[in-house]
Structure 1
């Protein structure tokens, strides 16, 4: 097992694999992120990214080499890390590594082209409006990793309007520029208030953010659970390609 100390070495080993590059790089795009470590063994690559919400271990490559690599990496960094990788590879690791259990499947989706979405009425929210958006997550999406005020969530775009006539305006649909780094912008926290659904607001705010990320970073990506069919369809209409991934972890205790 060889540890890779430079981001350039990780990018070369990742061979254009967007998820591994995103997991490895820091905000400056020139070095590994804070606390990030990466290793290579044969035709397998693993990137360990510590996080207060969930430590992540992104992995790719040949399954036989990955089994050896992941076993050694988990011995090095500890069992708190959740594995993320292409679904077939995660399945192979679950079969061959004792204690590792599947968590869920999801799609890594990405694009390098403008969305073509109509984004009239969408704008970047000010500080007060971002705080107001907190209630959307408290009430309708408490499990979202991206929420107002959390570390790494840089800015929020949204559509503002009235939920009920005469109650004043507030965010109706929002999406965040979150955990973006040079070479790969990342979108999270897409949510629409139930009373405003069916009006295309999620597509509008998503298109607005994706276009901003592609313009700045050259690539925009997101992760969505495999069972979230409506969201997947929306992102595909925005020109995003999907790749089936899996997550697995050694349960605590």
Structure 2
């Protein structure tokens, strides 16, 4: 797959032996590729790429095969074409960025470390109070490990290695305590996790709301670049 297909690689959730993850199915038609991946970052998803004409023929067939609960996602222009051209498909939520990098961050993440069980319990409290909507939270399926940074005895910022697969590590659940915001700690935990993911998988990626400028700036400081993405879903009657 080419350099613009990181979301396809991620959706495959490949194992160390090169096989796709449990329940993952890959479909092709002409230039279009669709990877249906169950329970990926909190949802059943279909990563889509290719020319719009081919995708318009492929995606309806995939939805009939895997079921209407799956949500296509990919480049915003392609998803827009699918919403306009596939009956019963509607835009799902606001635009977001798919961000990725294959480069190790240029600066160190001083003070950040992988959390132990006690640290993960503290992270759960951080989410309960300040980011309850996050798909990635301690103890949830697909969340592998947490990195964090402390101030005295208080956990101030965390980020997770979650839903990573061979060829594409994934970062999620980046949150900082309100009193610690503006100190660059979100960027620090991001750099730490990105470095680990790139070294292990060759690529690190994440998804972030397109209007979340502070978070995007932090991820850019970790060396990531973004593309505008969209998602769609089958209209519920």
Deviation at 1:220, TM superposition (A): 0.8
**Structure 2: distance between partners of 1:140 and 1:130:** 15
Aligned-pair distance for 1:29?
5.3
Q: How many residues align?
A: 234
Contact 1:129 1:170 in 2 (8 A): no
In structure 1, what is the equivalent of residue 89 of structure 2? 100
The answer to whether the 8 Å contact 1:117/1:208 transfers is no
Determine the structure 1 residue equivalent to 2:206: 222
Aligned partners of 1:252 and 1:126: how far apart in 2?
A: 42
The equivalent residue for 2:102 is 112
Which residue of 160, 163, 180 corresponds with 1:179? 163
1:249 is displaced (CA, Å) by 0.6
Deviation beyond 3 Å, 4+ runs, structure 1: none
1:47 to 10, 28, 35: 35
Q: How high is the TM-score relative to the length of structure 2?
A: 0.94
1:29-178, aligned counterparts within 5 Å?
30-51=18-39, 53-103=42-92, 104-162=94-152, 169-178=153-162
2:215 is the counterpart of 1:231: yes
Shift in Å, 1:196:
0.8
Q: Which runs of 5+ in 1 are unaligned?
A: 1-13, 163-168
C-alpha contact 2:91 2:232 (8 A) present in aligned 1: yes
Question: TM-score normalised to the size of structure 1?
Answer: 0.89
Which residues of structure 2 form unaligned runs of 5+? none
> What RMSD, in angstroms, separates the aligned Cα atoms of the two structures?
1.4
